[in-house]
Structure formats: C-alpha cells, structure tokens
Amino acid sequence: MYNINCLNNIAGIGLDLFTTDYNKDASYEEADAVLVRSAKMHDMELSDRLLAIARAGAGVNNIPLDKCAEKGIVVFNTPGANANAVKEQVILAMLLASRDYIGAVDWVKANADDADIAKSTEKAKKAFAGTEILGKKLGVIGLGAIGAMVANSAAALGMQVYGYDPYLSVNAAWSINRDVKHIVNVEDIYRECDYITIHVPALDSTKGMINKAAFNMMKDGVVVINCARDILVDENAMVDALASGKVKKYVTDFPNTLSVKLENTIVLPHLGASTKEAEDNCAVMAVKELRDYIENGNIRNSVNYPACDMGVCTNTGRIAVCHKNIPSVISNITAVLGAAGVNISDMLNKSRNDYAYSLFDLDDAVNADVIKKLEEVEGVIKVRVVK
C-alpha cells in the first residue's frame, strides 16, 4: 500500500486513477507521494519516506527542488496541461485592457435602479470605449506551452505577433504559427509592441526581467500582461510606469500587497489555471506520472531529476537509484550486484546537472544486505526496490 497526501484540492478524475493499492487519505508525514498545486512547501519537513512530489500544474517555485533532489525525492510537474486555460485568460486580459469592460459592468450595476437606463446607457457608454486588438502588435516573451498557444491564437485574431524565447525547444518551435515573427532581441519587443505578455518560469535569471530599463524602451500606452508569476515584473518600477502613462494598463494574475493598490491595473486572483478542463488535465497527468514512478521507477516530466524510462519490468526484479552525477557510482553499483551474484539484464542511466538516476533490471532477487551495500556506495542518495 502506498500513501498519498494531497496538499491542495486535486481533481477527482485524477485521484480515481489510483488503484486500491493506494491510500489517498494519508497525512503529509506518512506520505510516500504528495500531490500539490500552489501550497508553499519550502518550509515543510521532507520525510525520509517521501519518494515523489507531483505538482498538478506548471510552476514549481513553491517546491524546494534542490532540497528534494538532495533527498532523492523526485519532483514532477504537468507541462502544458493547463496551458489552454491560461491562453484564454491572456486573450481576455488583452480585451479587458482594450475597452473598460470592468468599469462598464460596474456602471450598469450602479445604475440598476435607473428607470431610464436604456437612454442613460447611450450617453454613458463613451466613457468605456476603447480600441481593438486587430492589427496591433503583441510581444510574447517565453514561447513554451502557454506562450506558443497565446502567440498562435493572437495571430489567428489578426494581431501582429512577435515571439521571443532564446531557449525555445524544437518541439515548441514546430507548434508555432509561421506568422509569428521570431524575435532574437527582447528589446525589439519592448520598443515595438502595443501589448506585451510574459510566459517564462520564475527563476533567479528571470526575476524582475520587466524592469525600469524595459519600461523605458516601451511605447507610450503599452499594455503589460502577467499571467506567469508576479516576481517577473518589477512592480515598484511599474508604479512609475503606470503613473507616467507609459503603461496604459497592467493585467496581473497575482494579487500582492503592492499590485492590489496599483492604478490602472486589473488584478485577477490567480485564476489562470482554474478551469475544470485544466484541473482535470493536470490531475490526470500528475497521477499517471506518480504511478509510473512508484510502480515502474520511470521518470517523466521531472523538474529535478532526468527523464528515465524503461517501460514495465518483465525481469525478476528492478531497482531504482537516485544518485549524484559523479564518477564511479555506476561501476560501484554494478560491482556490488556482481559480487552478490546478481545479473543485470538491462540498465539505464541518465543525468541532469548534479543529479543522476539509474534503473537496473535484474535476473535475480536482491536481499536487504545487497540493498544496504548499494546505499553505502559513495554518491548514492536513495535505493528503491521497484519490483
């Protein structure tokens, strides 16, 4: 029986994929695997028992990835599973910024008791009028799962789309409409675009990337949309950019003590991924990843360990080893197995930065003594008998 703990609400369609071999109501302390959305895990204890954490979503800045890797806890996310939901919100954000729909709806509500509202409307509406997005230039920074969808949809709506992503994967590049202009210098986006939307991960290297220098380059009256993470935009610099009219509207999905008080800003309550479809997609993907890891030792879509997949084990046994990416670990592991008379019928070793992961399919069963010797190999972090 494996213990599963959910730190946030996870869609039932995903949880239903756990068989009776899983206890889905386990506490965090006794969990073998954890499912999480945005709950902050940085200050939480990581038990020795914990094998894996699956983030039902994209952003993993709420999880201590290095600390987990150091303890042999594999962290997964669900790339692309909520991308369409965010894309739809970005299209909404552009439209909300183009006409004052929010002010307009508020006006109608405030005048609900006006017996002459049909007539008053025709006088009042000009206060909420705006512009169209057709033909305007949209700059998309980050062309991953979400950025690529935003770029394609905006192009389909008749916008001139500029896309910037210096680390674009080949797969992502294939998915991008040929009408999207490939930008190699982000400053071209700052200088030329009427709308700018950011879709990069929250990393030390991306923190505050939309800053004072970036605002200075932008056209007067630009719209900035942030459905990625608040720390990507220097919101202190945004205060001045909004006050001067450089930024006409800021739409952010991240309320914080500063953003909620900004003028000309529409703050949404982190709603980007909150659709039934996205929640279902994320939950299903996360549970499948966890099950494949727990039952077969395979790693797909990890953010702190390498991808490593040997399918379902058809041999006598399989062991999985999380280890440091240093010399001699594999040779020392195979030496321990060889000395115990255990034949390796197949193996796979993959590395990612400082960490590595190896699967060994075995023709013979391993006993506790062999496992203990494997755990003592220098650089080995965690050894698990998968089968």
Ligand X SMILES: O=C(O)[C@H](O)COP(=O)(O)O
Ligand Y SMILES: NC(=O)c1ccc[n+]([C@@H]2O[C@H](COP(=O)([O-])OP(=O)(O)OC[C@H]3O[C@@H](n4cnc5c(N)ncnc54)[C@H](O)[C@@H]3O)[C@@H](O)[C@H]2O)c1
Binding region for ligand X (CB under 6 A): 37-38, 57-59, 82, 270, 272-274
37 binds, among ligand Y, ligand X, none (CB under 5 to 8 A by kind): ligand X
Q: How many angstroms separate the CA atoms of 287 and 242, rounded?
A: 43
Name the region of 252 (left: φ>0; alpha: ψ -120 to 50; beta: rest). beta
62 binds, among ligand X, ligand Y, none (CB under 5 to 8 A by kind): none
Nearer to ligand Y, 245 or 255 (CB): 255
CA distances from 78 to 9, 300, 301, 330 (A): 16, 10, 7, 30
Residue 269 Cβ vs ligand Y, minimum distance, rounded to whole Å: 10
Burial of 62 (0-12, 13-18, 19+ CB in 10 A): middle
CA angle 195, 197, 201 (to 5 degrees): 165
Neighbour count for residue 69 (Cβ, 10 Å)? 22
14 binds, among ligand Y, ligand X, none (CB under 5 to 8 A by kind): none
Nearer to ligand X, 37 or 318 (CB): 37
Q: How many angstroms separate the CA atoms of 374 and 359, rounded?
A: 13
| Residues whose CB falls within 8 Å of the CB of residue 175, separated by 6 or more in sequence, listed in order | 148, 152
38 binds, among ligand Y, ligand X, none (CB under 5 to 8 A by kind): ligand X
Residue 207 Cβ vs ligand X, minimum distance, rounded to whole Å: 16
Nearer to ligand Y, 117 or 213 (CB): 213
Matching residue, tokens 């670990």: 329
Catalog residues that contact ligand Y under the rule CB under 6 A. Answer: 57-59, 79, 82-83, 86, 141-147, 164-168, 172, 199-202, 206, 227-229, 253, 270, 272-273
Closest-CB residue for ligand X? 57
Nearer to ligand Y, 145 or 161 (CB): 145
Nearer to ligand Y, 57 or 72 (CB): 57
Residue 149 Cβ vs ligand Y, minimum distance, rounded to whole Å: 8
